Amino acid sequence: MKSPNHMKLILLFSATLVTLFYQEGKAQEITFKTEHIGNSGYYYLPPGEKPREKIGDGKGSATIYQGAFSMPLSIKMNDNNRPIAWGIGLGGAYVSLKNQNFSDYMVSEIMNVQLGIYHLRPLNDRWSMKASVGMGVFTRSADLSKISFNNMLASGSVVFVRHLKSNLDIGGGLAINSSLGYPMVFPAVYLKWKTNGKFDVNIELVDGLDVSAGYDFNDMFKLSYAMEMNGQAALLNKDGKDVIFSHQYIVTGFRPEIKFGDIGLSLTGMAGFNLYRPASYSDRTLKGVFAADNDYYFTASAYASLGLKMKF
């Protein structure tokens, strides 16, 4: 049986990392987001039908800061108004884990920085190709002097996207990265679906997971109910072994958005709950990724976020 925690770890490396640079290719974009996940207890879920077990008095909260920048280097629109584009993307995240009663077991901070090149190309009226290649740093410390080659990952991907309707794109392909210390191929999935009108439903599996249903009150204000999944990781050495510390979270709540269309700026927030927050180590091997006995997680807690997006 595959651990739910490690299925999310696979998603973290096969989808989140390689699709960071999949932008629409039409404009420069800067995003910033800060999130806070409230305090909750730490549990272990054994394989099989056994009940979960609380891990001592361990508990913790988290504050996450994320930012991204994308810039097209060249753009040419085809006859169907789809871009042929080359561009660069830069993204980063810093996580402060406020842990209590863990001794030295739990990581207290994570820093992820990624830089890459992306390419978008329509193949015909119905198909497009999205490709990227990049490098990233995934470390347990924001101290740049402590970064080593062991904290770095190379990644690349090719995804073929089918434009089924004007509001529905679905695709799949392959992603390759060195998260296990050697090149490893994972499946890559791409999905964007959005209804139109004042009331809309949006589902995206591009950079993490985002599902929402919202209502546009006017040109400036929109309110949605949303569910998001995101995560970060650190590559480190523990007890003489190369391991991955993964931190993921699934959150849900109301998400207001204020749009300033004349300057390309939008402000968003969310107030709700963290439903599930896995945080644990796994061996940096194929066996470690698929291990069924390492599902450690923080339970549900309060959640709040604030973000901004600027398009030029």
Name the domain count of the chain: 1
Name which of 180-184, 216-220, 261-265 the model is least confident about: 180-184
Q: What is the pLDDT of residues 276-298, one digit of tens each?
A: 999 988 888 777 666 656 788 99
Cα separation of the two ends of the chain: 47
pLDDT at 257: 96
Q: How far apart are CA 119 and CA 101, in angstroms?
A: 47
Q: What is the pLDDT of residue 97?
A: 94
pLDDT band at 306 (very low <50, low <70, confident <90, very high): very high
- At residue 287, the 3 state secondary structure works out as helix
Cα 15 versus chain centre, distance: 8
In terms of pLDDT, which residue wins out, 97 or 20?
97
The answer to whether the beta carbons of residues 311 and 69 sit under 8 Å apart is: no
Quickly count: other Cβ atoms within 10 Å of residue 245's Cβ. 20
Question: DSSP strand E in the chain: where?
Answer: 29-44, 53-77, 83-100, 109-122, 127-139, 152-165, 168-177, 184-194, 199-206, 208-216, 221-238, 241-260, 265-283, 296-298, 301-311
pLDDT one-digit tens code per residue, 46-91: 877 788 888 888 899 999 999 999 888 998 888 877 889 999 989 8
Q: Does residue 151 contact residue 137 with C-beta atoms inside 8 Å?
A: yes
What is the chain's Cα-based Rg? 20
CA 39/CA 270 separation, integer angstroms: 17
What pLDDT sits at residue 59? 92
pLDDT value for 218: 92
- At residue 190 the predicted structure's pLDDT band, cuts being 50, 70 and 90, is confident
Cα-to-chain-centroid distance, residue 25: 19
Confidence check: pLDDT of 300 > 90: yes
In this prediction, residue 238 has a pLDDT band, given cuts at 50, 70 and 90, of confident
pLDDT at 14: 45
The SS3 call for residue 66 is strand
pLDDT-based confidence at residue 2 (cuts at 50, 70, 90): very low
Tokens matching residue 161: 């996207």
> Are the C-beta atoms of residues 191 and 204 closer than 8 Å to each other?
yes
User: What CA–CA distance (Å, rounded) separates 247 from 282?
Assistant: 11
Angle at CA 28, nearest 5°, toward 24 and 30?
A: 105
> How many whole angstroms separate alpha carbon 113 and alpha carbon 67?
10
pLDDT of residue 32: 95
Is beta strand 168-177 parallel, antiparallel or unpaired with respect to 184-194? Answer: antiparallel
Q: Residue holding tokens 């799949």?
A: 172
- Domain coverage including residue 153: 4-311
Higher pLDDT, 188 or 301: 301
Least confident piece of the model among 1-5, 43-47, 73-77: 1-5
- Mean per-residue pLDDT over the chain, rounded: 85
